Chains A and B, each alone.
Chain A
Amino acid sequence: MADILIKHLVKRFGKVEAVSDVSLKIEDGEFLVLLGPSGCGKSTILRMVAGLEDATSGEIVIGDRLVNFVDPVKRNVAMVFQNYALYPHMTVYKNIAFPLSIAKRPKGEIEAAVSRAAGILALEELLERLPGELSGGQRQRVALARAIVREPQAFLMDEPLSNLDAQLRLQTRLELIQLHQRLGITTMYVTHDQVEAMTMGSRIAVMSEGVLQQVGTPQEVYRRPANVFVATFLGAPPMNLIHGALESTPGGWRFRGENVDVPLSTDVLSSPELQHEIEARGDVRFGLRPEHFRIDAAGEEGGIPGSVQFLEPVGSDLYLTVEAGGTSLQVRTDPDSTLQAGDNVTLHFDPWRVHVFGADGHNLRRDTAAIAVPGVPAPTV
C-alpha cells in the first residue's frame, strides 16, 4: 500500500485543458472520491495515475516513486472500469487469473490467489461461467476480484457503479465500503454521483472544468462549501441562492435582496478585513440549503415571504418550490405537511446557517474562507 501524491498536474488535449494544475494527496489507506460533473477532468486524472494517459506537465508520485514515465503495470495499481472490461471469451476464473498468468506466476500460486479473491467477493460458485452469463453486479465483483488478485498498492475506480440499477448500486456500494474497510487499500474513486461520494469517501475532492474546487471530508464539503459550485453541486435539491447586497447597519450586517431583508449572525461574518472587502464589493449571493428553512404562516415577522408553487412528495420528505420575490426557493419539509400549491408562507432560518458568496463565487463565511485548497489559491477576501 502507498499514498498517492499529485503535484501541479496538467493535461491538455490539443487546445483544451482537461486538467488544470491539480495538486492532491491521497493518504495511505484512504478512500478518496473525485467528484464532479461529466467532462470535469476527474476520469482523466485517474487515467493519468493509472498510466493510460500521459500528463502534459506535473508529477505523479505513488509511494515514494515518481511514476510519470513508468509503465502502467509497473505502477502496481489496479483499475476498475465503468463497463467492467471483463474479457468476454474467458471464464470468471481466467479473468481473475489473467494478471497473474501474464506475470507467469506458478500455477499453485495463481489458484490460491484466485480462490482467495473469489472468497472475498463471494464468486466461488461462478468461476466457470463466462462474463456474458453474469448479472451486472456479479460482473462488477469479478472486475473487483481481478483488481484485488494483483495485491495492488492502490485501487483506481472509474464510476464502477454507474451501470448498475438503483437497488444493486446501493448493495454494491456497501460491498465496496466493506471491502475497503477489510483490505485498507488506498483507493481513488471517480464518480459524478454525490450520494456515492458522500457515503463512501473518507474525503471528497470536488472538481469542475478541470479545476479542483475543494477537498475535504463529506461533512466539510457539504457544510462549508468553498464556493458556489461546490455548494450547488452537492445536495439534492441544491443550495438555494439569492442575489442581493450586504449592508452595514448599526445593529450589524444585513442581507438585502429582492423581497428579502435579514440580519446576519456575527458568527457568519465577523472578521474586520472581510467586512471591509464585502463593503467594497457590494453584490453577493446568499446561500441556504432546502433543509434549513422553517415554514411559518404568512405575515410572520422577519423571514422571507413567498407562495408555494409546486409540491414534490418523495415519501420520506416533501419538497416545496416557493416563489419569493422573483426567486424560486427549494424547501424541504415534513411529508405530513398540509400545505397546498398557492398557500402563502414565511420562510425562517437560523442566521448561522447562511452562506454568503462573493462576486467571484467564493464563500465568505469566516469558517470556510480560510479553507485552503491545495493547488488553488485561497480566497483573498
Chain B
Amino acid sequence: MSDFGVDVPEAEGGAHAAYGRAVRRDRGFRVVKATLAYLVLAVFAVMAVGPFLYLLSPSFRQSYELFSYPPEWIPKSLYWGNFSTILHETSYLRWGLNTLVFATSVTLITLAIDTMAGYAFARLRFPGRTSLFVLVLATLMIPTAVLIAPLYIMVSRLPGWTHAGVNTYLGMILPMVASPLGVFMMRQFMSTLPEALVEAARLDGASEWQIFRKIVLPLMKPAIVVLGIFTFMFQWVNFLWPLVITTTDDMKTLTVGVASLQGQFVTNWGVISAAAVMTMLPVIIIFLIFQRWFVQASMAGALKQ
C-alpha cells in the first residue's frame, strides 16, 4: 500500500520467470543486431581507410622494396628519403604555395558571393526570384568536363587581356568561384532563421546590408564554416582546371605537380606516395579541427523552430 492509496499487487513467481526470459531474449536480439551493424560499418571503414594505408606504406620505403614478393605492408624501418627528395628536388613548396593561394582565394570569394546570393534568394523579394533560383540550381546538372573548354577560351580571351588569363592566379581562381551548391545551401540555411529577427532589425533601423552583416551573417557561422571547409577541401585537390590553365612548372598546384612526377619510362612510386601523403595532411588537419562545426550545422537545421 503506497501513500497515495495505490495498491501494488505482489508479483507472482511465474510472472517473474516469464519476464526474465523476455529480457534475455531481447538482449540476445540486441547483441545480434549490434554485431551485424558493426560488421557492415567495418566493411565501409576498410573501404575508406584502406587506400590511405596503401598509400602511407610505400611513402616510407625505398623504391626497390615496393615490388618485393611477398608484398610487405609494414616497412621494416622508416625511410625518410622520399620526403627529402620531394622537398629538395621538386618544386613541391612552390606548388604548395600556389595551391594555398588558389584554394584560399576561391574559398573566400565563394563564401562572400554564396552568402549574399543565399540571403537574396531566401529573404529579399524581387521579380524573377524563383526562376533565377531554378536557373542557378539547373547549372548543377552541367558536368564540369563540358565547361572546361569554354572556360579556357573565356579566360584566355578576356577583353584586352589576350592569353594573359592562362597560367595566372586570376585565371585559375575566377572560374571556380561561386558554386550553385553553396548558394543553395546558404539559401536553405537562411530560410530556417526566424523571419521576425530580420523584421525586428528592420524596425530597429538597420539597413538591408546591416541586417545581413550584423544579424544574419553571425547566425550563419556554422553553415559558413561548413561551406568554407567543403570548398577549401574540394579546391585543394582540384585537378582538372589547374591542369588545363597552368602551363609552367612554377604555376602548378599540388595535384598537378604530383601527377607530373610520373615519368614516361620510370616512376618513383615511393616519391609520389610521399608527395600524396604530404598533400593530404593539411586537409585532414583542417577537417579534424573543424569537424564539430559539421555536427553543429546539421543539428541547427534540425532543431530550429
Q: Chain A: residues with CB nearer than 8 A to chain B?
A: 50-52, 72-73, 77-79, 81-83, 85, 87-89, 98-99, 102-103, 146, 150
For residue B13, CB closer than 8 A to chain A, the reply is no
User: A79–B200 Cα gap in the complex (Å)?
Assistant: 7
Contact with A along B204-228 (1 / 0, CB 8 A): 1110001000010011000000000
Task: List 28 A–B pairs whose Cβ atoms lie within 8 Å, in order of A's numbering.
Answer: A50-B203, A52-B199, A52-B202, A52-B203, A72-B203, A73-B202, A73-B204, A77-B203, A78-B203, A79-B199, A79-B200, A79-B203, A81-B196, A81-B200, A82-B196, A85-B194, A85-B199, A87-B200, A87-B201, A87-B215, A88-B219, A89-B219, A98-B201, A98-B206, A99-B204, A99-B205, A102-B204, A103-B205
The 5 tightest CB contacts between A and B, nearest first, are: A73-B205, A85-B200, A85-B196, A99-B204, A89-B218
For residue B305, CB closer than 8 A to chain A, the reply is yes
B residues less than 8 Å from A103 (CB atoms): 205
A residues less than 8 Å from B194 (CB atoms): 83, 85
Q: Which of A52, A85, A146 contacts B197 (CB 8 A)?
A: A85
Given known contacts A52-B199, A73-B202, A79-B200, A102 and B210 CB-to-CB distance under 8 angstroms: yes
Contact: A83 with B196, CB < 8 Å? yes
Nearest CB of A to B41, in Å:
35
Additional 19 contacts, C-beta under 8 A, given A72-B202, A73-B204, A81-B200 = A50-B203, A52-B202, A52-B203, A73-B203, A73-B205, A77-B203, A78-B203, A79-B200, A79-B203, A81-B199, A82-B196, A83-B196, A85-B196, A87-B197, A87-B200, A98-B206, A99-B205, A102-B206, A146-B200
Q: Chain B: residues with CB nearer than 8 A to chain A?
A: 194, 196-197, 199-206, 210, 215, 218-219, 305
B residues less than 8 Å from A99 (CB atoms): 204-205
User: A52–B206 Cα gap in the complex (Å)?
Assistant: 13
User: A373–B215 Cα gap in the complex (Å)?
Assistant: 42
Nearest CB of B to A222, in Å:
32
User: A52–B194 Cα gap in the complex (Å)?
Assistant: 15
B residues less than 8 Å from A78 (CB atoms): 203
User: A87–B196 Cα gap in the complex (Å)?
Assistant: 10
Measured CB to CB, the nearest residue on chain B to A51 is: B203
Nearest CB of A to B151, in Å:
39
B residues less than 8 Å from A52 (CB atoms): 199, 202-203
B199, B205, B215, B219 pick with most chain A CB within 10 angstroms:
B205
Nearest CB of A to B284, in Å:
30
Nearest CB of A to B198, in Å:
9
Nearest CB of A to B301, in Å:
15
User: A320–B200 Cα gap in the complex (Å)?
Assistant: 46
Measured CB to CB, the nearest residue on chain B to A52 is: B199
Nearest CB of A to B282, in Å:
30
A residues less than 8 Å from B202 (CB atoms): 52, 72-73
Nearest CB of A to B1, in Å:
28
A residues less than 8 Å from B205 (CB atoms): 73, 99, 102-103
User: A230–B267 Cα gap in the complex (Å)?
Assistant: 89
User: A79–B218 Cα gap in the complex (Å)?
Assistant: 23
Q: Which of A51, A82, A89, A98 contacts B204 (CB 8 A)?
A: A98
B residues less than 8 Å from A50 (CB atoms): 203
Nearest CB of B to A190, in Å:
14
User: A78–B196 Cα gap in the complex (Å)?
Assistant: 13
A residues less than 8 Å from B210 (CB atoms): 102
B residues less than 8 Å from A98 (CB atoms): 201, 204, 206
Nearest CB of B to A237, in Å:
32
User: A150–B206 Cα gap in the complex (Å)?
Assistant: 13
Nearest CB of A to B216, in Å:
10
A52, A73, A78, A85 pick with most chain B CB within 10 angstroms:
A85
A residues less than 8 Å from B305 (CB atoms): 83
User: A52–B202 Cα gap in the complex (Å)?
Assistant: 9
Nearest CB of B to A269, in Å:
49
A residues less than 8 Å from B200 (CB atoms): 79, 81, 85, 87, 146
